Structure 1
Amino acid sequence: MPCAAPAAAPAWRSPLGVAARQKRRQGQLSGPRRQASRTGTFAGHNQAGSVGSFLSMTDFEHEFEEALEADPHTGELLVLVPFSVAEVYGTKGELPVRTRIEGFPYLGELTPYGEGYHALIVPRAVRRAVGKTVGDVLRVALSRDPDERVVPLPDDLAAALANEPAALAFYKKLPQPDQRAYVRYLAGAKRPDERGKRLQETVYRLGQGLKRK
């Protein structure tokens, strides 16, 4: 049975356009996107880049096709999830998921994106592996990941925080979604000098007891 979609679209415009996205979700616009709900059983647990036995596309709870879009504020590339995560999974917050993107295994998170929507950020390594860029349609299969996650601390951030005990202590107290927000912010830098600036900003904000915006 199709899952209910949020009533409103995000304020920013997507490659499909707000009107087109609303029509597509109401079944008024033809196109490649397809969304189906399935119940499946997990057969494995691999990191992105390792295919192994990490489930076939038919072993997931949900399968859909959506265009890869760029967030104009952060530059991150993502796909919007075409169903209400709050209604299906009972949470408005971040949801860890196991996915296959174009058949490529990836452990990610469905992140709140405003107006009742959630988004799946598609990192550079996955995009390169599947040969997709902004505007391309991605076939995505996903299920909730019941396993406990640990947010890996980048080496440069770990080294910087080693000299800032207050910032490190605050970072360790942050919920995992907030830790991931800082890690993603650093990973989004395209040049070494940009990453250096983001690193300084991150350490400063953590030292001030501030979450990532």
Structure 2
Amino acid sequence: MAHFRDPGPIEFDAVIQRSTVAGSASFVQFPHSVPETFGASGRIPVRAAFDGIGYRGSLVTYSDGHLLLVRSDVQTEIGKTTGDTVRVSLTLDTSERVVELADDVSAALTAGGAEDAFRALSYSRQREYALWIASAKRQATREARINRTLQRLAEGRANQKPG
């Protein structure tokens, strides 16, 4: 993990925004300079709360600042949407990020000798694969996705988005 300066708890009010680009996610703009606040730039792992509802995510670079995504399930839980003001609390997340895998996925990675290659992927990419596999409606589809993941890992192509 990169080294960040821990500024302690940060709180601010922000308006939930959304780009006009189709398929875009909702977000809040971080109102401070990330390099000055955290001693680094780029992606900053944080534990956040929107009106008290917890979320584990990252501040990500956007244009000339940073933003924090506001997942739709969090918006539903707090009863707010684009244009509404939300109270944001966040702290630097220094804990290791580990994607929990279903038993069959873990067993397949181990049997295929691909567990180390999978764990070498970024947390976000591991999570994408785990969610992609878990979203299969039929067992045959799930097995095919597990096999495709193993194949991509073996070929060194697992950094591509699953699907």
TM range (shorter): 0.5 to 0.7
Aligned AA for 2:67? Answer: A
CA offsets, 1:3-43, max 9 Å, x none?
xxxxxxxxxxxxxxxxxxxxxxxxxxxxxxxxxxxx76xxx
Give the count of matched residue pairs: 150
Residue of structure 1 equivalent to 2:95 = 148
Equivalent residues in 2 for 1:1-80, closer than 5 Å: 60-69=9-18, 72=21, 75-80=24-29
Offset at residue 207 of structure 1 (A): 3.3
* Correspondent of 1:113 among 38, 61, 80: 61
Offset at residue 198 of structure 1 (A): 7.1
Equivalent residues in 2 for 1:185-200, closer than 5 Å: 187=131, 192=136
- Identify the structure with bigger relative contact order (alpha carbons < 8 Å, sequence gap 6+): 2
Equivalent residues in 2 for 1:102-141, closer than 5 Å: 102-110=51-59, 112-141=60-89
Does residue 85 (structure 1) correspond to residue 34 (structure 2)? The answer is yes
Residue ranges of structure 1 left out of the alignment (5+ in a row): 1-38, 41-59
Identical aligned residues as a percent:
28
CA offsets, 1:56-102, max 9 Å, x none?
xxxx3231313242695865443332333123212223322232201
Aligned AA for 1:63? Answer: F
Structure with higher strand content: 2
Residue of structure 2 equivalent to 1:206 = 153
Offset at residue 158 of structure 1 (A): 3.1
Alpha carbons 2:50, 2:87 under 8 Å: kept: yes
Residue ranges of structure 2 left out of the alignment (5+ in a row): 1-6
Aligned to 1:64, what secondary structure does the other structure show? strand
Alpha carbons 1:186, 1:198 under 8 Å: kept: no
Offset at residue 151 of structure 1 (A): 1.7
Q: Give the TM-score normalised by structure 2.
A: 0.63
Q: CA RMSD in A?
A: 3.9
Q: Give the TM-score normalised by structure 1.
A: 0.51
Alpha carbons 1:97, 1:143 under 8 Å: kept: yes
Aligned to 2:42, what secondary structure does the other structure show? coil
Residue of structure 2 equivalent to 1:44 = none
